[in-house]
Structure 1
Amino acid sequence: MIDHKRCFMKRNSTLAVVCCLLLLLVSCGKKTSEKTSAPRSQLDAGIIASCTSRAQAEELSQQLGISFRVINEKRKLIEYIGISEEELRKHLPKSNFKINKVYQEVLVDGDFQVQSAIDYPYYGAHVGAQRSQRNASFNFPYLIQVDAFSSSNEGQGAVIAIIDTGVYYNHPHLSPNIFTQNGQMVGWDFYNGDAFPLDDQGHGTHVAGLAAGTLNGVAPKAKIMPVKVMGSDGRGDFGTIVAGILYAVDNGADIINLSLGGSGGGSITADVAAMIDSVIKAKENDVLVVAAAGNGGYDGLGDCNDNSPVYPANINQDNLIAVAAVNQWNELTSYSNFGGATVDIAAPGGDEWNGGLRSAAVPNCFGPCHEYEADYTYQMGTSMATPLVAGLAALVKTKYPQMNYKQIRDKILNGGKKFAELSGLIGSESVINVGLTLSN
């Protein structure tokens, strides 16, 4: 069991080795100890090398003690943490590798895994079998009660903006719920500057499926507004995210899901101030914002947001809910950030390291998908907990249409189930509960 200390110190973990997927990559290299006075949003986050030979990548993996994962058959990526570019170049055949500096701006808050590749355990499975897999992960039997849905309309009429890496909007269990007006999809790609916010990373698609997928979504009849603000490497910047928030507000979103975060240098910079202003604009337009508390740093252990702010989760506005992740025993996961003063509520996020359960099998597709060939995967992180809260917000909004953003927020926080394990770590000391929230 993880001994969760309060915000006075970093929490201890019984895990000896932790591997996590920050960005799109897996790193098991040593952690850098270099310090710098530069804002975190400008820190060098390592070196990325891409190669065309699996054998060479595997050889380097053995030589340097790092891990790699396959993005597709033609491209492999390796992330090196704590190794100089000069040292790296000594090991790289010039003809097959290209080195690029990558800077840490806003990170997708992670899909923590102990594997070096995303798992697709149910590829090609029958849809009926997919639905039965709700029992294979703790999110749905734990969170969703069938009788709760009998008193709701499953989110029909609510619009959830998924501001993320995009959404694979042709997926058979997402396409029916894509938000349209006058026959046109409402969504935008701010990362590439076009009207096609297609997911090329997978994170945003998974998030959308948890919130409002027709198969396993919390609000299976809510509409999805795809807004792409990050690229295939899971990175973006505060300015692009602000543009995405403003777009969602101006184009009919009721709820905004932000499964992302960055430190902003630990102070109220101009970029952070602009993000705060965008959340205030959302409030002025009666839009609720749900943001991930974050997954800690490179050590894979959650941090205290009271001491080390993460934005947008740390924006102190009454239309924002900051979400942590718990495991099936109602304990904060080892990776989840926390904060009694800054994190509002928790939701199931998956915990491979404690019990072997991750978040539900939901869409993850990067190419043409058909009804019986759609990609599904389990993932874990506060990114996965956050859309469960966004989906619940859609259920509340459509059951109680007279409620404004603050009333919906209060109902979710007051409708959660309290657990002593969360005392001092989460403001409400609660995990969301659909049945209690909709029945009270």
Structure 2
Amino acid sequence: MSKEEFEFQKFRKSGTILPFIIAALCILTIVFLLRKCNSPNEFWNGSYPNYSKITPIFPDKPNVLKPIDTTKIIIPDDPLKRPILSNLLNVYVQDTTNLKLFSKAVINTYIDDSISVTYFADAYKRVQFEVPPNRQKQLKTQIKEDFQLVKFVCYESIISNNQSKSDPGFSNLEYDWFYRQIGLYRAWNQTMGDPSIKIAVIDDSFDPNHEELVNQIEKPWNVFEYSDKVRVYNSKSVHGTHVAGTAVGEINNGFGISGVAPRSKLIPIQIADGNGMMTTSSILDGIFYALKNKANVINLSLGIDLSKAFGSLTEEQQEVYANEIYLDEAAMWNEVYEIAAKEGTIIVQAAGNSAVLSSLDPMKRSKATIVVGATDRNEKTAEFSNYGEGVDIYAPGVNIYSSVPNQQFKQMDGTSMASPIISGCVALIMSVDKNLTIADIKRLMNETGKTFNGRDNLIQIDQLLLKIKAL
């Protein structure tokens, strides 16, 4: 037994190493005898075997996701009824863990399950295992129990982008109503953003040649293709282009309308495969790419459809579920968001379109992000918007006019549209004062927002910037 084989046993929580020592001595004795008697041995070549060749551990390249196998998509027996891939588990370990040794330990501990590694990210200590579908649920529990270095074990979930339900633009009251409602025109007297402030939009796909985006883009990335070629795979993939245009579309180009922060820059990060599917892993890869490339703001117009699972429950019943389900996954997302906050990056995310409490979604429970609900033209909560104490601020999300592929524009609904409005506002805020923390920004949003429903606040960016200036 090699030294590397021996060391990985230290990852186990319990058990003795004595049987392994005895086995190693037996193997060495046999090898010695074979050499002495010159017996033929096809495995012997004068050196100890290369363990990595006997048990392949990692794919050739890190951070490269395999295409989504749609035949493995199932709806698990749990409250969220969220689609997952039945053959994958994502395991997150302590920062000091040697991923290769840990992976070998897992593979050899459950040797009968023929586990393999499909993906790994050493920079943030995450490894994805392919497991037998009939053992996925048990292994999810066992791996965390058997290895003390494991922090979280989560499914590979299929995430939606909250698809909508359904410069000439500035002269149309139907198109620019939300600019006026949040005080954006007055805010632009102070700033339209700054090229040093970069908004990373993590979404399904982008039209990089759209007139609203072509001059705004820096450092694009396509997660599944592992390249800088962002694109639109089919005519239905309009979401990312619309979101990006709402946040940072170009101004004074004689075309369409503009984003909330038109002088800032865009990092488009495409996280959907050719079928428009996004996963937990592709989102995480997008976030860490944005952090690596010094994004100041990250927009996540993504989430889970919660209406079927929870739409008929009372708020009290929903609160019980929010406090009991997917705690491991919520803790994982919170840790990622806190990493971003320490880097000085503000994450803004859509609350969701299921008309339920936003905190039912484990992605939305952290205090280290800004969760955005949607309002309508009457400054009321949009009928589809998620709500509750987990929503930090509201922004218009009905009939939002912005770019879609092929030099087109469209009005769309959703908290997906409200979120980039807030991302643009955060870029304006950071253009005035880059030192504000996420806690500072959330406090200022609520102190200067327009209160409705007696508890919620609609962003008023002009008043917020004035308050910063007065500080």
TM-score (norm 1): 0.63
Q: Secondary structure at the match of 1:141?
A: helix
CA distance in 2, matches of 1:398, 1:129: 26
Q: What does 1:5-404 align with in structure 2 at a 5 Å threshold?
A: 36-37=77-78, 40-42=81-83, 105-113=158-166, 128-133=167-172, 135-179=174-218, 186-200=219-233, 201-214=237-250, 215-231=257-273, 233-262=275-304, 267-268=325-326, 271-296=329-354, 302-306=355-359, 309-317=360-368, 320-339=369-388, 341-350=389-398, 358-360=399-401, 362-366=402-406, 374-404=407-437
Q: Which runs of 5+ in 1 are unaligned?
A: 1-33, 45-102, 114-127, 180-185, 297-301, 351-357, 367-373
Asked if structure 1 preserves the Cα contact closer than 8 Å seen for 2:163 and 2:414, the reply is: yes
Q: Deviations over 1:321-371 (max 9, x none)?
A: 1001010111111111111x2111110000xxxxxxx112x11014xxxxx
Q: Secondary structure at the match of 2:287?
A: helix
CA distance in 2, matches of 1:154, 1:106: 31
Alpha-carbon spacing, 1:111–1:258, altered in 2? closer, same or farther (3 Å): same
Report what 2:121 is aligned to. none
Report what 1:84 is aligned to. none
Report what 1:122 is aligned to. none
The one-letter code sitting in structure 2 at the alignment partner of 1:40 is: K
Q: Secondary structure at the match of 1:41?
A: coil
CA distance in 1, matches of 2:76, 2:419: 32
Q: Secondary structure at the match of 2:82?
A: helix
Q: Secondary structure at the match of 2:171?
A: helix
C-alpha displacement of 1:413: 3.0
TM-score (norm 2): 0.59
Asked if structure 1 preserves the Cα contact closer than 8 Å seen for 2:392 and 2:442, the reply is: no
Q: How many residues get paired?
A: 298
Report what 2:457 is aligned to. 430
The structure number with the bigger radius of gyration is 2
C-alpha displacement of 1:38: 7.4
C-alpha displacement of 1:160: 0.5
C-alpha displacement of 1:192: 3.0
Instruction: Specify which structure has the higher proportion of helix.
Output: 2
Asked if structure 2 preserves the Cα contact closer than 8 Å seen for 1:106 and 1:237, the reply is: yes
Alpha-carbon spacing, 1:133–1:313, altered in 2? closer, same or farther (3 Å): farther
Q: Secondary structure at the match of 2:188?
A: helix
CA distance in 2, matches of 1:36, 1:312: 20
CA distance in 1, matches of 2:211, 2:381: 33
CA distance in 1, matches of 2:173, 2:199: 22
C-alpha displacement of 1:310: 1.5
Q: Which runs of 5+ in 2 are unaligned?
A: 1-74, 86-155, 251-256, 307-320
Alpha-carbon spacing, 1:133–1:343, altered in 2? closer, same or farther (3 Å): same
Alpha-carbon spacing, 1:193–1:261, altered in 2? closer, same or farther (3 Å): same
CA distance in 1, matches of 2:432, 2:341: 20
Report what 2:21 is aligned to. none
Report what 2:109 is aligned to. none
C-alpha displacement of 1:269: 6.0
C-alpha displacement of 1:142: 1.6
